[in-house]
Amino acid sequence: MNYFDLFNLEPAFDIDTALLAERYRELQRAVHPDKFANDTEQQKMLSVQRTAQINDGYQTLKNPLRRAEHMLSLRGIELSHETTTLKDGAFLMQQMEWREALEDIQHSQQPQDLIDELYDSFSEFESSLSIQLATLLASNDQADALLAADQIRKLKFMAKLQDELSRIEDGLLD
């Protein structure tokens, strides 16, 4: 299913999330199961299915990474359950540096300074990736779609690093 069509939005990485939320509420009102309480069981079931579809579409489009993956899936590129590894040497080296920095936090005299530096580094890198991703997704070229898939893989890795850093920070506060 094309969630952009469902919400009557142009397929794009950068979308108006306020408009998405407005359309979500409109669609939810139109298919809410309570509206079909006196209808046939089939109508009730269709309403529940449609509501689930709308919820899934909304969750997909409001999250930039899931939105990007959906855009690629519409082009026949599925990233959901893949195990493809990145072959970007510079990115792999950067990963190793970040991993070492995460380990160093535990032994640092000023762990919060390292945490703040990592958050800044992650944010800067993610911002750069997102800009590149938006450009690649705007292209209709299949080669750009494959490059976009690599950007998404990198952003997924960054999300995992962010989570790990948050857990380390929470652990230090406890």
The pTM of this model reads 0.85
Do 95 and 47 lie in one domain? The reply is no
**C-alpha pair distances (Å), 63 with each of 59, 68, 69, 83, 96:** 6, 9, 10, 21, 27
Do 104 and 58 lie in one domain? The reply is no
Q: Which residues contact 172 (CB under 8 A, 6 or more apart)?
A: 105, 111, 112, 115
CATH of the domain at 136: 1.20.1280
Supply 112's token pair.
Answer: 């919060």
Q: Of 62, 81, 105, which marks where a domain is finished?
A: 62
pLDDT tens sequence across 101-158? 999 998 999 999 999 999 999 999 999 999 999 999 999 999 999 999 999 999 999 9
On whether residue 120 sits in a domain, the answer given is: yes
Do 95 and 55 lie in one domain? The reply is no
Do 93 and 162 lie in one domain? The reply is yes
Q: Which residues contact 164 (CB under 8 A, 6 or more apart)?
A: 102
Supply 149's token pair.
Answer: 């898939």
Supply 38's token pair.
Answer: 């006196």
pLDDT at 82: 67
On whether residue 78 sits in a domain, the answer given is: no
On whether residue 76 sits in a domain, the answer given is: no
pLDDT tens sequence across 38-81? 778 888 788 889 999 999 999 999 999 999 999 999 999 988 66
CATH of the domain at 38: 1.10.287.110
On whether residue 45 sits in a domain, the answer given is: yes
Q: Of 47, 62, 77, which marks where a domain is finished?
A: 62
Do 93 and 159 lie in one domain? The reply is yes
- What is the tally of structural domains in the chain? 2
Domain hosting 136: range is 89-173
CA dihedral (5, 142, 91, 117) in degrees, to 10, reads -30
Q: Of 16, 45, 62, which marks where a domain is finished?
A: 62
Element holding 15 (H helix, E strand): none
| 121-148: b (≥16 Cβ within 10 Å) or e | ebeebbeebbeebbebbeeeeeeebebb
Supply 43's token pair.
Answer: 């109508």
Asked whether the beta carbons of 153 and 83 are under 8 A apart, the reply is no
CA-only gyration radius of the chain, Å: 20
